[in-house]
Structure 1
């Protein structure tokens, strides 16, 4: 892992620790940077805002590639659901635990209400682009991607608030509904 990646990960970990200990609103970017052993300016070189420490989504390229790889004759919503299901199948236990923590913080911080929705533009664009590469027209591709991301956001936030189900179960149920299964 190179220096940039180590610093990036240290900042993310420090943020999660402080958000968990003190709450999102009480944890300042200065304290996060200090805990990670870097300057606040360095934090903002890696993350454009405090909420980006929680909202940065490494899964977009994986999901888009999996959607592009779906059979050409598959309807768009089914291609999205099955592509996303395949992309998320490889999520390990540590990543799932980290995701649950991040989403729980988002769900509990009043200043972050609506943050997933406001931050979903890149995910929607990646998924709509994948559908377009499969031959879908731009407007229907964007509508399908928006519906999928909205539905998954609801399912993921509900999963994060409870300990009742695994990520696979929560995503599976949502993707079955969203994909018409």
Structure 2
């Protein structure tokens, strides 16, 4: 799902997400309904669904896929695909502002506490993987090599995020996972 184009729509989307995260943290993901989120955000359920197709999407959808794909593409083409993806993910993380880092950490904490969200995480990760693979293939990397590199890096990031201290900065957690892949733990 793409981010709404207007500043007003973006503010509404951000407000929905902030309210939802507050409610998930206070009452648990399963106990929080879309109606409850909409009411607390001062919107209708229909407005909620204009911004997020499902309750899961509030937690697993992020705007970073184009940024990640561009950062991977900006890495030197002579690097092995795994290293291009690894460095691209680190570069993309450098571009995340502190507010987005905080929201991402809150989202990860909700996912880590709620196993029923794992299928939604897998679907969201698949979208990121596709964006990375498409970028590498466009630059001449064989599809198999691109797929393996993207899958390995994203699996390392997901594993680290789900096992990490929720207070740790996103960059540090993901950086650690990507260092392990590079053989520099």
For normalisation by structure 1, the TM-score amounts to: 0.91
Q: Which runs of 5+ in 2 are unaligned?
A: 1-5
Q: 1:28 to 1:121 in 2, by over 3 A?
A: same
Q: How far does residue 162 in structure 1 lie from its aligned partner after superposition? A: 4.5
Correspondence for 1:175 among 164, 178, 181: 178
Give the aligned partner of residue 53 of structure 2: 48
For normalisation by structure 2, the TM-score amounts to: 0.89
Q: How far does residue 168 in structure 1 lie from its aligned partner after superposition? A: 2.7
Task: Give, in whole Å, the separation in 2 of the partners of 1:95 and 1:8.
Answer: 13
Q: How far does residue 89 in structure 1 lie from its aligned partner after superposition? A: 1.1
Q: 1:56 to 1:162 in 2, by over 3 A?
A: closer
Structure 2 residue 179 is the aligned partner of structure 1 residue 146: no
Give the aligned partner of residue 120 of structure 1: 125
Task: Give, in whole Å, the separation in 2 of the partners of 1:109 and 1:14.
Answer: 18
Verify the 8 A CA contact 1:117 1:150 in the aligned structure 2. no
Structure 2 residue 28 is the aligned partner of structure 1 residue 17: no
Give the aligned partner of residue 83 of structure 2: 78
Give the aligned partner of residue 68 of structure 2: 63
Task: Give, in whole Å, the separation in 2 of the partners of 1:110 and 1:168.
Answer: 23
Verify the 8 A CA contact 2:108 2:166 in the aligned structure 1. no
Give the aligned partner of residue 130 of structure 1: 135
Q: How far does residue 20 in structure 1 lie from its aligned partner after superposition? A: 0.9
Correspondence for 2:160 among 150, 155, 162: 155
Correspondence for 1:37 among 30, 42, 45: 42
Q: State the Cα RMSD in Å.
A: 1.7
Farther off after superposition, 119-128 or 138-147: 138-147
Give the aligned partner of residue 106 of structure 1: 111
